[in-house]
Structure 1
């Protein structure tokens, strides 16, 4: 049976190098001294390959630098809640399949684990500008959210709007606050919890880093996919349902939970990069 794909959006790669990488570590590539774009450029110059530095992993490939690159996915039911989850991620690279290469044989590029923090598809040079969880937001803003056993009590006292997400009500809180105001409001909620309730009530501050922006952009997408601009390039981020991740992908590379990335010939004769994540098999337990 052939796979049925749905469109997730598009990215661009003006540097001519496209990266599929673990979102939790994109900002750490520059720490050892060589930015992601340098490493990715070397891999792409030889046709593509996997990059790894400590817990950071990615695959880099050459891509057309003058057009939008379509990103699609097929799905399979999650073992957590039976909702659709990504089974195959496919990225059109806008380059012709080499005339001398066998179209029926995929070219292996390595493998990748599913990052609990999500995955990112985008231009290698653009991603050099990625701001991660510990960075400061360029716009100086942050979101505050709260949830848990005493959320209704907190709402009655402090207010806050419902922050909706696909398929669920989501927590309550405030969006787009100046960072200092967000910190003060979260501290007020924490103090109220400690004074009257103790455990059972959670508060989160999410600064508008690129890491948070892609997660926020995907809140209303059934596959948790969101598009943002990073370094002047359009980037797609994919967040995983935490329950699905814990069941289907738990342990990541340390537990052998890695999935193959290949170059293949697409229907129109162009190269595509495919990341194949098998459906969960209860017989493997």
Structure 2
């Protein structure tokens, strides 16, 4: 594992409560009972704790209200992709260490969500718009790719998306985006006899925007604003997740979360995610 930290960005927690949670499920908490903010407030009041309800999981801890909180990571090489992946996530909580010694305080464990992870304010995340939600700005992005993408580009235009080499348009009104998708699909024809091309419209949900913000980052980390707070989203490379973290909690794929002294009198939240190993290892 690299001894060097990689800075991922900053988050804010004006409520005094910070959450590290599974991005796929942030907007589901109210459907299961209390909103995330209330659950997180109670956990943070006792020094921090693990939240778990159905598929929804998160950790909530107290944090400084009046400053940006740095998020950084250590990396290791994925045994499968041989590319750097996060092996330790660390959030500076902006609070003094109050433990009787420097021993880590365990808070539970979390799986790596195939939809990514979110670090943000416990109250701000109540405003999170999930994958099935409607965008607050009324906009969407359209992308297309496949064997006949160059032919589609000659027909319809669009810009190259540097993250994955697809083509498309950003920040279109939803109605225009959906009409464009329908037009490209009509041009494509039937799946069996038509041109080989896939096309998709992604509405500007917070779920999509954090993935878009981190698409060009080597660790797929990107910051967006949610509920008036700066939130950091961390996506996971699909092949690495499938081989290293697939099955998540149901398969025992969970990783410890701790509060620790930072060596300079402060407190950090750490999530330790060792890279997966092959059966031979």
Alpha carbons of structure 1 residues 24 and 107: separation in structure 2 relative to 1, 3 Å: same
Q: What residue number does 2:214 align with?
A: 218
Shift of 1:30: 1.4
* 1:102-117 map, 5 Å: 102-103=101-102, 105-117=103-115
Please give the TM-score of this superposition, normalised by the length of structure 1.
0.94
In structure 2, C-alpha distance between the alignment counterparts of 1:54 and 1:198, rounded to whole Å: 42
In structure 2, C-alpha distance between the alignment counterparts of 1:171 and 1:80, rounded to whole Å: 24
Please give the TM-score of this superposition, normalised by the length of structure 2.
0.95
In structure 2, C-alpha distance between the alignment counterparts of 1:281 and 1:35, rounded to whole Å: 37
In structure 1, C-alpha distance between the alignment counterparts of 2:118 and 2:2, rounded to whole Å: 26
Q: What residue number does 2:205 align with?
A: 209
Contact 2:2/2:75 (CA < 8 Å) preserved in 1? no
Q: Does 1:172 align with 2:167?
A: yes
After the TM superposition, list the runs of 4 or more consecutive aligned residues in structure 1 that deviate by more than 3 angstroms: 195-200
Alpha carbons of structure 1 residues 267 and 2: separation in structure 2 relative to 1, 3 Å: farther
Shift of 1:225: 0.5
Q: 1:263 aligns with which of 254, 259, 264?
A: 259
- Unpaired runs of 5+ in structure 1? none
User: For 1:190, what is the secondary structure of its paired residue?
Assistant: helix
Contact 2:27/2:130 (CA < 8 Å) preserved in 1? yes
Q: How much is the aligned-residue C-alpha RMSD, in angstroms?
A: 1.6
Q: Does 1:229 align with 2:225?
A: yes
* 1:30-49 map, 5 Å: 30-49=30-49
Q: Does 1:76 align with 2:66?
A: no
In structure 2, C-alpha distance between the alignment counterparts of 1:4 and 1:71, rounded to whole Å: 14
In structure 2, C-alpha distance between the alignment counterparts of 1:41 and 1:32, rounded to whole Å: 17
Shift of 1:284: 6.2
In structure 2, C-alpha distance between the alignment counterparts of 1:171 and 1:39, rounded to whole Å: 40
Equivalent pairs, count: 280
Q: What residue number does 1:188 align with?
A: 183
Query: 1:252-282 CA deviation, whole Å, 9 max, x = no partner?
Result: 1111111000111002111111000012222
Contact 2:2/2:74 (CA < 8 Å) preserved in 1? no
In structure 2, C-alpha distance between the alignment counterparts of 1:257 and 1:170, rounded to whole Å: 32
